[in-house]
Amino acid sequence: MEKKSFKGWIYILPSIIIMCVFTLYPLLKAFGMSFSEDYSLIKGTGKAIGLGNYQELFSDKNFLKALRNTSIYVVFVVPLSITFSLIIAVLINSTNKLKGFFQTVYFLPYVTSVIAIGIVWRWIYNSNYGLLNYFLSFFGIEPIGWLNETAYALPALIIFSIWKSMAFDILIFLAGLQTISKDVYDAAKVDSTPAWRVFFRITVPGIAPMIAYAFIMGIISAFKVYNEVFSLFKGSAGPANSAITVVYYIYDQFYNNFNYGVAAAASVVLFLIIFSLTMLQRGIKYLGRKD
C-alpha cells in the first residue's frame, strides 16, 4: 500500500469506526433480533430462531394500520411539500428586497424544536379556541375536533408535517436557483416567453438534481416520521391509534410492550421499504440520464 493511501485510510478511520459502531452494528443486531422469538434484552438471546416475529407482525392490525397511515402520509406530504416549497423558493428568488428576511422566516421551522412546534400546532388545532377553526367559522364550517376525532387525526398530522418539511426544501431549491444563469431568464424575457413556460422549461430543469435530492430525502424522512406524532398528540398516536405510524409502532412495541423481537422485525421491514424505494429512485434517475 502506498504511503499516501495509508495516510488517507488513517484520516477516515475514525469515521469508519463510528459508522460501524452506531450504524452497521445496530442494523445487524436488529436483523438478528427479528428472528429471535421471545427475545430477552437482558440475556441478549431468544428462545427460538424462526419467522414467528414476522408472522405476529403481519397479523397485527396496529402494524397494518401503521403501514397504511405511513404510506398515505408519504403520498401526501412529500409531493405537496416539494410543490409548495418550489413555488415559494421561486417567489423569494425573484424578490430583490427582503430576500434574506424571507429566507430566515421560512427556515425557522427547520431549526426549531419539533416539541415546541407541536405545542403551537396543538393550539392551532384546538377544537374550542383554535386558530384554524376560527378561520373556518368564517365559511360557516362547524368546529372540527382535529386532534380528538379519528377521521381528522391523520389529516391534521399531514398538514402539520407539510408545513414543517417545507423549510428544508425551500433552502435546497433556493441554493439551486442561484446556479441558473440570469442571462437565460433575460433571454426568455426578450422573447416574451410566458411565465409558466419559463418555470417548466428553465427553472424546473435547471434545479432537477435538487428536486430529485429533496424527493429522496423527503421519502426517507416521511417513512421515519415519529417526532411529529409524539409532539402533536402528547405522546400518543392519536385517538384510537388513528395516526399511528411505523416508527411509532416500533417505539410502542419496544418501550411499552417490551416486545423486542416484533419491534426489530418492524424495523427490518421499514429498512427494506426505504432501501427499495431509494434504489428504485436511483435506478430511474440513472435510466433518465443522457450520455
> What is 90-156 written as a DSSP string?
HHHHT--TTHHHHHHHHHHHHHS-HHHHHHHHHHHH-TTT-HHHHHHHTTTPPP--TTTSHHHHHHH
pLDDT in tens, 30-87: 888 888 887 777 677 777 788 889 999 999 999 999 999 999 999 999 999 999 999 9
Q: Are 81 and 218 in contact (CB under 8 A)?
A: yes
Domains and CATH numbers, the chain: 57-287 (1.10.3720.10)
**DSSP-assigned letter for residue 291:** -
Query: Following CA atoms 148, 153, 156, 162 in sequence, which dihedral angle do they give, to the nearest 10 degrees?
Result: 150
Question: In Å, how far from its chain's centre is CA 32?
Answer: 27
- What end-to-end distance do the CA atoms of the chain give, in Å? 35
pLDDT in tens, 246-255: 999 999 999 9
- Digitized pLDDT (tens) for each residue of the chain, 291 residues in all: 556 677 778 888 889 999 999 888 888 888 888 888 877 776 777 777 888 899 999 999 999 999 999 999 999 999 999 999 999 998 888 877 777 777 778 788 878 888 889 889 999 999 888 899 999 888 888 889 999 999 999 999 999 999 998 988 998 998 888 888 888 888 888 877 788 888 888 888 889 889 988 998 899 999 999 999 999 998 899 999 999 999 999 999 999 988 999 999 999 999 999 989 888 877 766 655 554
Position 277 scores a pLDDT of 86
Position 1 scores a pLDDT of 53
φ/ψ of residue 45, rounded to 5? -140, 165
Whole-model pTM?
0.87
Residue 235: which region, alpha, beta or left (left: phi > 0; alpha: psi -120 to 50)?
A: left
Q: Are 265 and 53 in contact (CB under 8 A)?
A: yes
